[in-house]
């Protein structure tokens, strides 16, 4: 299975943009890139996902490298409520679509 | 919208006792998952199900059993609880990918289990 690598922790200041990196050098052509986050004492929640093109939604943007070996989750203006653990996950397609394997993620601290 | 509901939210067990954790989803999702999360760790997959009547082992299945008799429910059982099973348990559900569209998972709020 393809693995992801994320920094253990990152820090940001409130109202500044945050770029959370994820490396997935062994990604297959049909793997989707998903991001989830886990707020303190809560279950993970979906943030965004993409395959090849950059994606935007109300929560964040996902920038995917042209070779797909890395991606970056972008929070345009961090707030204190964005302090969480962010997980980058690869999900297969077709017969392996069910797979949803988490790593340790990146702990994001947002300073006021 | 109830989404994914886990029962109970907290439980303390004595070593050797048994219990069942219930996960219920009202979104008609095909896939369901059970994870455990220990302090400072990510989520580790215990068991999963790709449809009613089917289950499969994840990364850390030992000491747990599961059943998916109804599409909306996924049960996690501990036959003889051990202190090493003290953890926070999360259930998730996800719609099967169709039409080339990948889908997101929805998680419950967790069950905090302590085995003494």
- CA separation (Å) from A43 to A70, B46, B78, B109? 25, 16, 21, 5
Distance from the Cα of A78 to chain B's closest Cα (Å) equals: 23
What residues of chain B score a pLDDT lower than 50?
none
Q: What is the mean pLDDT of residues A95-102?
A: 72
Q: How far apart (Å, rounded) are the C-alpha atoms in residues A87 and A81?
A: 16
Asked if A105's CB is within 8 angstroms of B33's CB, the reply is no
Q: What is the pLDDT of residues A1-51, one digit of tens each?
A: 668 999 999 999 999 999 999 999 988 888 889 999 999 989 999 999 999
Give residue B2's pLDDT.
Answer: 73
Chain-chain contact of A43 with B108 (C-beta, under 8 angstroms): yes
Q: Which residues of A touch B35 (CB under 8 A)?
A: 102
Q: What b/e sequence results for B21-42 when a residue is b if at least 16 CB atoms lie within 10 Å of its CB, and e otherwise?
A: bebbbeeebbbbbbbbbeeeeb
User: Could you say which of A49, A94, A104 has the minimum Cβ distance to residue B104?
Assistant: A49
Q: Give strand ranges (E) for B1-116.
A: 4-7, 10-13, 19-25, 31-37, 43-51, 54-57, 65-67, 73-78, 87-94, 105-107, 111-115
Residue B42: list chain A partners with CB under 8 A.
Answer: 85, 87, 102-105
CA atoms of B50 and A97, how far apart (whole Å) = 10
For A44-70, what is the mean pLDDT? 94
Task: Return the pLDDT at A46.
Answer: 95
């Amino acid at each position: 299975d393809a693995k992801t690598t994320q920094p253990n922790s990152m820090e940001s200041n409130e109202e500044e943009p945050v770029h959370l990196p994820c490396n997935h050098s062994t990604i297959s052509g049909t793997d989707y890139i998903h991001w989830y986050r886990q707020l303190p004492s809560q279950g993970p929640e979906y943030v965004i996902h993409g395959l090849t093109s950059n994606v935007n939604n109300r929560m964040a943007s996902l920038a995917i490298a042209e070779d797909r070996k890395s991606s970056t989750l972008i929070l345009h203006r961090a707030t204190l409520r964005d302090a969480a653990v962010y997980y980058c996950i690869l999900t297969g397609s077709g017969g392996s679509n069910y797979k949803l394997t988490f790593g340790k993620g990146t702990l994001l601290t947002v300073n006021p | 919208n109830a989404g994914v509901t886990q029962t109970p939210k907290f439980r303390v067990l004595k070593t050797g006792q048994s219990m069942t954790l219930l996960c219920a989803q009202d979104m008609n999702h095909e896939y369901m998952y059970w994870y455990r999360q220990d302090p400072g760790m990510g989520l580790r997959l215990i068991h999963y199900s790709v449809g009613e009547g089917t289950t499969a082992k994840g990364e850390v299945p030992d000491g747990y059993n599961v059943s998916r008799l109804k599409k909306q429910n996924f049960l996690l059982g501990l036959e003889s609880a051990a202190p090493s099973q003290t953890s926070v348990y999360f259930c998730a559900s996800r719609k099967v990918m169709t039409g080339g569209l990948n889908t997101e998972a929805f998680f419950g709020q967790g069950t905090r289990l302590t085995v003494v």
